[in-house]
Amino acid sequence: MPPLTYAIDPAHSSVHFSVRHLMVSNVRGEFTKVSGTVNFDPEKPETSTIEATIDATSISTRDQQRDGHLKSPDFLDTEKFPTIAFRSKKVEIVSGGGKVTGDLTIHGVTREIVLDVEGPTPEIKDPWGKQRIGASATAKLNRKDFGLTWNAALETGGVMVGDEVKITLDVEVVRG
């Protein structure tokens, strides 16, 4: 049986992130537009591949001024780099999930990251006759590794924006 091809369902998928702010709390945000393809072989899941693209201009932290700053050349520079891309290179299966290693490109810089995956769920048939599966994944990255170095020193010591960014993905994919 050949691998099954699924498309990411953007209406039922999300890409969230959190980063320390003023060294006291986490600011959370999301990208609201994600697309991509998953080639999944249930008999040989380690041969599966994932490609995803995020519209960087769809960033939302529920604060228009902050979102504008994140889109600016200080951070994502979405005019010059309108997308964030992920392409898997290796899939490892462990009980209840696995690890997906791949290249993540942000701000024109590509670095390898590892996603810790929960799932996939068993395939189900939706009310419209299409087949769906889902999975969740998490990762941590250092924003400076991607050339996102803007910061401001605080009067009391420390910095305004933390370097570590926590990523949470919830993805539903559909075929048929």
Helices (H) and strands (E) in the chain, counts: 1, 12
Residue 95 and residue 97: Cα distance in Å, rounded? 6
pLDDT, greater one: 22 or 78 = 78
pLDDT higher than 70, residue 153:
no
SS3 call for 77: coil
- pLDDT over threshold 50, residue 3: yes
Predicted pLDDT at 164: 77
Residue 37 has pLDDT above 80, yes or no: yes
Mean pLDDT of 124-129: 94
Mean pLDDT calculated for residue range 159-176: 83
Dihedral sign computed on CA atoms, order 117, 119, 123, 126: negative
pTM for the full predicted model: 0.89
How would you classify the pairing of strands 14-21 and 49-55? Answer: unpaired
* pLDDT value for 78: 96
Distance between CA atoms of residues 117 and 23, nearest Å? 28
Using omega within 30 degrees of 0 as the cis cutoff, is the peptide bond preceding 73 cis?
Answer: no
Residue 27 has pLDDT above 90, yes or no: no
Predicted confidence at residue 19, as pLDDT, reads 83
Taken in order 118, 119, 120, 126, the sign of the CA dihedral is negative
pLDDT at 150: 57
Region 19-40: mean pLDDT is: 84
Among 173, 99, 170, 96, which residue's Cα sits nearest to residue 133?
173
CA distance 150 to 47: 38
Please give the C-alpha separations between residue 59 and each of 66, 69, 124, in angstroms, as whole numbers: 10, 11, 31
pLDDT score of 159: 47
Pick the CATH number of 4-175 from 2.40.128.110, 3.90.1170.50, 3.20.20.80, 2.60.40.2550: 2.40.128.110
Q: Where are the domains of the chain?
A: 4-175
Indicate whether 160 pLDDT > 70. Answer: no
Q: What is the pLDDT of residue 49?
A: 95
Average pLDDT over residues 20-45: 85
> What are the φ and ψ backbone dihedral angles of 99, each rounded to 5 degrees?
-130, 135
